[in-house]
């Protein structure tokens, strides 16, 4: 929890802070989880939100000072990988990238010899965010059913950023059709294995 600076809201949602390699907080992704299953709550209003959205709404409703209104009105989100700041803290560790923030946290608990980052969603793996991977050894762990898409993205990244990227087919090989449909990932595999 400390490594990722995880936070929580009053209604017990988790805040996954996006902190870049220089220690700058870009935003926080707020997600609700079922306390009984540990699974993310989907298809419910407010199940996913962003700290910058909440601050922007709060500033516009309160009619705060001109400076704060101007700052929130001019805010331009430039996302980074969740966990990116760990590259600076632990520069010699290889990097593992997954789709979901919760998966990165679980991976870091079991396999702490890697810096675990999360793309944030299927399309979150991209060249721009990957510039911080320069001269790094990287392993991608796509969710079931996403191997081909992330393999193509890894080729794009390798052509633009000097780094060594491998892509694991562990989840693709072990997931059933139902699991692939449900978004089975390496965290599910880890939980089932232990």
Residue 63 has pLDDT above 80, yes or no: no
Residue that is last in its domain, among 43, 73, 103: 73
Q: What is the mean pLDDT of residues 114-143?
A: 97
Residue that is last in its domain, among 17, 45, 73: 73
For the question of whether the overall pTM of this predicted structure is more than 0.95, the answer is: no
- 100 inside domain: yes
pLDDT top residue among 87 and 1: 87
Confidence of residue 76 (pLDDT cuts 50, 70, 90): low
Q: How many domains is the chain partitioned into structurally?
A: 2
- 2 inside domain: no
Q: What is the mean pLDDT of residues 112-137?
A: 96
CATH code, domain with 123 = 3.40.1360
Token readout for 82 is 């969740």
List, for residues 5-41, the tens digit of each pLDDT value: 999 999 889 999 999 999 999 999 999 998 888 888 8
- 129 lies in the same domain as 180: yes
- 55 lies in the same domain as 118: no
- 67 lies in the same domain as 161: no
Sign of CA dihedral 90, 93, 99, 35: negative
Return the SS3 of 144.
Answer: coil
- 108 lies in the same domain as 161: yes
List, for residues 161-191, the tens digit of each pLDDT value: 999 999 999 999 989 999 988 889 999 999 8
CA–CA distances in Å: residue 144 to residues 39, 73, 90, 189 = 17, 39, 29, 11
- 25 lies in the same domain as 119: no
Residue that is last in its domain, among 48, 73, 98: 73
Q: Please give the residue range of the domain that contains residue 90.
A: 85-193
Considering only 14-18, 61-65, 120-124, 133-137, which range has the smallest mean pLDDT?
61-65
Question: Beta partners for 165?
Answer: 138
- 59 lies in the same domain as 24: yes
Kindly state the DSSP code that residue 120 receives in the 8-state scheme.
S
- 28 inside domain: yes
- 49 lies in the same domain as 110: no
Starting from the edge strand earliest in sequence, which strands make up the sheet with 164-167, in order?
115-118, 95-98, 137-140, 164-167
- 22 lies in the same domain as 98: no
- 78 inside domain: no
* Closest C-alpha among 122, 135, 56, 128 to residue 92: 135
Per-residue pLDDT at 169: 94
Considering only 67-71, 117-121, 183-187, which range has the smallest mean pLDDT?
67-71
Residue 146 has pLDDT above 80, yes or no: yes
Q: Report the mean per-residue pLDDT for the chain.
A: 90
């Amino acid at each position: 929890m400390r490594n990722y600076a995880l936070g929580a809201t009053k209604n017990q949602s988790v805040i996954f802070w996006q902190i870049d390699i220089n220690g700058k907080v870009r935003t926080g992704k707020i997600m609700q989880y079922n306390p009984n299953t540990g699974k993310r709550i989907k298809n419910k209003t407010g199940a996913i939100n962003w700290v910058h959205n909440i601050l922007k709404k709060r500033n516009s409703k309160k009619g705060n000072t001109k400076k704060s209104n101007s700052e929130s009105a001019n805010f331009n989100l430039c996302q980074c990988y969740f966990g990116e700041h760990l590259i600076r803290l632990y520069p010699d560790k290889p990097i593992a990238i997954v789709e979901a923030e919760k998966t990165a946290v679980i991976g870091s608990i079991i396999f702490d010899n890697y810096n675990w980052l999360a793309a944030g969603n299927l399309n979150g793996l991209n060249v721009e965010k990957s510039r911080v991977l320069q001269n790094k050894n990287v392993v991608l762990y796509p969710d079931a059913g996403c191997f081909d898409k992330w393999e193509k993205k890894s080729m794009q990244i390798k052509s633009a950023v000097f780094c060594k990227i491998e892509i694991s087919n562990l989840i693709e090989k072990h997931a059933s059709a139902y699991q692939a449909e449900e978004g089975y990932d390496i965290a599910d595999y880890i939980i089932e294995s232990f």
